[in-house]
Amino acid sequence: MSKNPMESVIRAEGLGKTYAEGKMHTPVFDGLDLDVKPGETVAIVGASGAGKSTLLHLLGGLDIPTAGEVYVAGHRMSALSDTERGRLRNRSLGFVYQFHHLLPEFTALENVMMPVMLDEKSPVPGRRWVATSIATVCFATLASVRTGHWIFLWLALGLWLAGLLGMGVISYWSGRKKVVAARQRATEILEAVGLGHRVHHKPGELSGGERQRAAVARALVNNPACILGDEPTGNLDDKTAGTVFELMLALNRRYQTSLVLVTHDRSLARKLDRVLELREGRLHQLERSEV
């Protein structure tokens, strides 16, 4: 994740997308450019079907462009494997959709902890450890057969068992440490969105606005460089939508997290640094008076 002011958090260069199904081709955009700086807030508006959701999917690495490149925190998305792209997405981007997408069987706290739990690599050197074990046992068997002293094989097996036990202990403790850290971070961020008193409630026990605030907390928990929102307040009544929107702006100022929000609500869009209209496959900056 990058918060270097010189580096764009998200950059799209000459982006093109055409959906192809059989002989049917649907071009959505062609040669689209976008540059989002750290801490910047950008609204994307446009008619239904203009390609706003498609653009967010491409910026978030959830879909692949048919032309051009997307850079997230300086990384060229097309150069990454699926796993690397997933890890970058989890660390550098947060997503908030119109529907909260919280898992109903988990509490707000557990939902918000999830991206942290998914973030770190396993401390256990999996494949390398298995390869070393097999090589050691093979070598010890060979040495035992050659010398006639089976002590080599027993020693190797003993070492292997001790290693296995050691890794189990390390894995258990680091797992516990990770859970404690995730819980602490999730509690902090839930308090920041005003849900400190609702951490143990499941989504079904929260109001619409509270659920969306929990979704915002989940998007922010890994301290991402940018939040991508697809009509994040579109499901809420006007008053609650205004409150959640103001909360997102306050959090943007507090954590310097960039925001790229698709919204049809021009009065909300006007509150962001820039308003871009997606029209005829390109982004056009709107003047305040045009919004």
> Nearer to ligand ADP by C-beta: 52 or 218?
52
State in angstroms the smallest separation of the CB of 10 from ligand ADP.
Answer: 17
- The residue within the footprint of ligand ADP, chosen from 8, 53, 107, 222 (CB under 6 A), is 53
> Nearer to ligand ADP by C-beta: 50 or 72?
50
Is the distance from CB of 192 to CB of 217 less than 8 angstroms? yes
- The residue within the footprint of ligand ADP, chosen from 11, 52, 89, 211 (CB under 6 A), is 52
Q: Is 48 in the site for ligand ADP (CB under 6 A)?
A: yes
Q: Using CA atoms, how far apart are residues 85 and 77, in angstroms rounded to an integer?
A: 7
State in angstroms the smallest separation of the CB of 195 from ligand ADP.
Answer: 29
Is the distance from CB of 94 to CB of 218 less than 8 angstroms? yes
> Nearer to ligand ADP by C-beta: 53 or 222?
53
Q: Is 50 in the site for ligand ADP (CB under 6 A)?
A: yes
Instruction: Please report, as residue ranges, which positions from 3 to 22 form the binding site for ligand ADP (by CB under 6 A).
Output: 19, 21
> Nearer to ligand ADP by C-beta: 48 or 83?
48
Q: Nearest to residue 219, comparing CAs of 60, 35, 55?
A: 60
- Whole-Å CA distances, 135 to 46, 140, 141: 61, 9, 10
- The residue within the footprint of ligand ADP, chosen from 4, 18, 25, 26 (CB under 6 A), is 26
Provide CB contacts within 8 A for 225, sequence distance 6+: 1, 2, 3, 9, 10, 38, 72, 73, 92, 93, 257, 258
The dihedral of CA 236, 239, 241, 244: what is its sign? negative
Q: Using CA atoms, how far apart are residues 275 and 264, in angstroms rounded to an integer?
A: 11
Q: What is residue 228's three-state secondary structure?
A: strand
Is the distance from CB of 109 to CB of 175 less than 8 angstroms? no
State in angstroms the smallest separation of the CB of 27 from ligand ADP.
Answer: 9
> Nearer to ligand ADP by C-beta: 49 or 86?
49
The one segment of 7-15, 52-60, 68-76, 212-220 that binds ligand ADP by CB under 6 A: 52-60
> Nearer to ligand ADP by C-beta: 21 or 104?
21
Give contact residues for ligand ADP (rule: CB under 6 A). Answer: 19, 21, 26, 28, 46, 48-54
